[in-house]
């Protein structure tokens, strides 16, 4: 299975967020064996560089995964042929391995430098991507996430998390006043109703406000009852995190609202760029019918693209419906098609003027 050696090696090094070092070190050794100049930066990202030209194509993948070890194995599927199972096969070691193999196959291109990065902490607070913002200014950006080999993703929603809390005096259960837990249930339905009103006539999921109640916890002491909710929001382009937090603060009274983590605005890439056109041609040359998608999740694209302001898109083989599931796998044909498309797109972009 030499054609998928990169993918297989990455999957064999289990690397949930916070435990990426072993996989990073393996990837650095592997990229070096393929002719890349390699380094590990201050955040722990794996960086491989091929070429030394003044123009840069940065291919940003991530090497961390969600938790949940899936035994690495090949299986024969009646519909898909040989498939490879393993945590990260789709999200997102498949796209990252595709980047490495495609750039290695492309080789040196006069006037160009291809930079492949396996970023850490993408499934966390994106510490790896944040460390790259001030260091690079690429001419083109390709972010690695699974969207199938014949599709190009141009937009990812923003995200914002918050904790909501309420404490009240402990009273006899026969008292008519609602408990904090009961008020929390009412609050959740109030927020759902607001989201439904906001989303009215917004047909595309990319344009909608999507809410998730991640956890709800109650506590009781001798004198108080309290409840805490952890709320996630996927935000459209016209609802930046600051505006959402301001509205949320109004909606949750009498609850207290505390923002969590790093809020991230939504981002949409330009469609009519040399980068997009190169991928459209490459997909057709590989026998596919190209399509565009906008995603309801958030990726490192949202962080780096606003700073670099260069043509960008998201590409990668793999079925996004398998992200974070216990059934995560990738068909080898899907993977190899992705490599072929990426090679074709990079050849077109780096062709001599």
d(CA 341, CA 117): 19
Prior bond of 254 cis (ω within 30°): yes
pTM given for the model: 0.93
| 221-275 pLDDT, tens digit each | 888 899 999 999 999 999 999 999 999 999 999 999 999 999 999 999 999 999 9
CA 335, CA 99: separation in Å to the nearest integer? 11
Separation CA 211–CA 159 (nearest Å):
10
Tell me, what DSSP letter sits at residue 322? Answer: G
Consecutive H or E run containing 336: helix 332-349
What does DSSP assign to residue 320? G
| CA–CA distance, 173 with 85 (Å, rounded to integer) | 52
46 in Cβ contact with 28 (< 8 Å): yes
Give dist(CA 278, CA 305) in Å, integer. Answer: 19
| Domain spans in the chain, listed from the N-terminal domain onward | 2-156+266-349, 159-263
Please indicate whether residue 125 is annotated as part of the active site.
Answer: no
Q: How far is CA 223 from CA 172, 173, 177, in A?
A: 11, 13, 15
Enter the CATH code of domain 159-263.
Answer: 3.30.70.360
Closest CA to 145 of 97, 95, 190, 193: 95
Among 91, 121, 122, 145, the active-site one is 122
Enter the tokens of residue 6. Answer: 């990169």
CB 46 within 8 A of CB 117: yes
The CATH architecture to which 2-156+266-349 belongs is 3-Layer(aba) Sandwich (3.40)
Write out the chain's pLDDT in tens, 353 residues.
579 999 999 999 999 999 999 999 999 999 999 999 999 999 999 999 999 999 999 999 999 999 999 999 999 999 999 999 999 999 999 999 999 999 999 999 999 999 999 999 999 999 999 999 999 999 999 999 999 999 999 999 999 999 999 998 876 555 667 889 999 999 999 999 999 999 999 999 999 999 999 999 999 888 889 999 999 999 999 999 999 999 999 999 999 999 999 999 999 999 999 999 999 999 999 999 999 999 999 999 999 999 999 999 999 999 999 999 999 999 999 999 999 999 999 999 999 65
Nearest to 279 by CA among 155, 154, 151: 151
Nearest to 317 by CA among 5, 24, 119, 94: 94
The string of pLDDT tens digits covering residues 312-336 is 999 999 999 999 999 999 999 999 9
Whole-angstrom distance, CA of residue 149 vs CA of residue 152: 8
Query: Per the structure block, which two tokens stand in for 198?
Result: 């906001």
Q: Is 122 among the catalytic positions?
A: yes
Q: How far apart are CA 310 and CA 349, in angstroms?
A: 14
Strand positions, DSSP E, 31-150: 37-40, 46-50, 55-62, 73-77, 81-85, 112-119, 140-144
CB atoms within 10 A of CB 197: 9
Task: Exactly one of 64, 319, 328, 347 is catalytic; name it.
Answer: 64
Task: State CA 348 to chain mean position distance.
Answer: 26
């Amino acid at each position: 299975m030499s054609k998928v050696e990169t993918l297989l090696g990455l999957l064999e090094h289990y690397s949930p967020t916070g435990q990426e070092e072993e996989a990073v070190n393996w990837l650095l050794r592997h990229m070096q064996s393929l002719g890349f100049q390699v380094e590990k930066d201050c955040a722990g990202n794996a960086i491989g560089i091929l070429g030394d030209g003044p123009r840069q194509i940065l291919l940003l993948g991530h090497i961390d995964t969600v938790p949940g070890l899936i035994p690495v194995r090949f299986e024969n599927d009646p519909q898909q042929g040989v498939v490879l199972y393993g945590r990260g096969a789709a999200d997102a070691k498949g796209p990252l391995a595709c980047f490495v193999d495609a750039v290695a196959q492309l080789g040196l291109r006069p006037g160009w430098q291809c930079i492949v990065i396996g970023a850490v902490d993408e499934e966390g607070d994106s510490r790896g991507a944040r460390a790259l913002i001030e260091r690079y200014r690429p001419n083109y950006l390709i972010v690695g996430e699974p969207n199938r080999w014949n599709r190009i993703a141009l937009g990812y929603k923003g995200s914002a998390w918050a904790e909501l809390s309420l404490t009240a005096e402990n009273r006899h259960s026969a008292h008519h006043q609602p408990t904090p837990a009961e008020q929390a249930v009412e609050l959740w339905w109030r927020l759902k109703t607001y989201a439904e009103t906001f989303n009215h006539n917004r047909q595309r999921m990319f344009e909608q406000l999507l809410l998730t109640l991640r956890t709800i916890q109650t506590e009781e002491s001798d004198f108080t009852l309290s409840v805490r909710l952890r709320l996630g929001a996927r935000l459209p382009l016209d609802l930046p995190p600051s505006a959402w937090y301001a509205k949320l603060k109004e909606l949750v009274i009498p609850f207290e609202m505390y923002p969590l983590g790093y809020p991230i605005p939504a981002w949409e890439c330009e469609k009519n760029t040399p980068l997009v056109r190169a991928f459209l041609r490459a997909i057709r040359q590989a026998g596919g019918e190209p399509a565009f998608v906008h995603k309801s999740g958030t990726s490192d694209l949202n962080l780096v693209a606003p700073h670099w302001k260069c043509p960008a898109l998201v590409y990668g083989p793999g079925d996004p419906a398998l992200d974070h599931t216990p059934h995560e796998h990738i068909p080898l044909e899907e993977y190899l098609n992705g490599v072929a498309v990426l090679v074709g797109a990079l050849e077109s972009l780096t062709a001599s003027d």
